Amino acid sequence: MILSASHLRKTFNTPEPVEILSDISLDICAGESIAITGKSGVGKTTLLHILGTLEPFDSGQLLIAGKSFHPKTAPAYRNSQMGFIFQAFNLLEDFTALENVLMPARIARKPYDKKKGLELLSLVGLETRGHFPAKLLSGGERQRVAIARALCNDPNILFADEPSGSLDQQNQELVTNLLFDLVRSSKKTLILVTHDKEIAARCDRSLCLSNGKLTSSI
């Protein structure tokens, strides 16, 4: 089991206490793809961030590769074994595509392997865009750079939050196909938040978040 969550709870206290996650238990096997669906505002992104150790939880337990993790103790593991793809891309606008792809290695204080960065850009069809500043790229190109960046440190787990949600239909299909092809060819674990039923159906399992709990949506 690459990730196991047991009875996770999360409450926001602004302005009144609101329990967003009441009892989340989830086991994910290595190489499995999981879709988390649900209405807007139910806490899908919060759950994704908790599973990715980006956000704290109030109670429960999170095991990753058999070890207990919490945001305060997880940065080193997160930087080396997890990759994140966000709907808003979260690229550094004045840095080039190649510099953005290699940023996780820089954060992890690893050698900057320009050749590897170019190979990752080639995987996403952007081998000729490496020297372009991110702000000059189209939305579809930015998301492809974000996918390449997520793969920089060869993570075991990829977390994707509505990765095609801000793109037009043509780029949605391109980015979605690319993501699933890369995940399956590299046998990585994928945890995906989406509101799109067709995208969710492409995952091994689809779970629905409602009233603070996960249920099978199939």
Cβ 5 vs Cβ 51: under 8 Å: yes
List, for residues 165-200, the tens digit of each pLDDT value.
Answer: 888 888 889 999 999 999 999 999 999 999 999 999
Among the ranges given (13-22, 63-72, 111-120), the one the predictor scored with the smallest mean pLDDT: 63-72
Token digits of residue 148: 């390449």
Most confident of 31-40, 62-71, 75-84: 31-40
Residue 99's pLDDT is what? 96
- Total domain count for the chain? 1
Cβ 44 vs Cβ 38: under 8 Å: yes
Domain that holds residue 99: 3-216
Q: Which of 200, 126, 179, 157 is nearest to 4 (CA)?
A: 157
For the chain, the average pLDDT equals: 92
Instruction: Give the DSSP letter string of 83-141.
Output: EEEETT----TTSBHHHHHTHHHHHTT----HHHHHHHHHHTT-TT-TTSBGGGS-HHH
CATH number at residue 103: 3.40.50.300
List, for residues 154-167, the tens digit of each pLDDT value.
Answer: 999 999 999 988 88
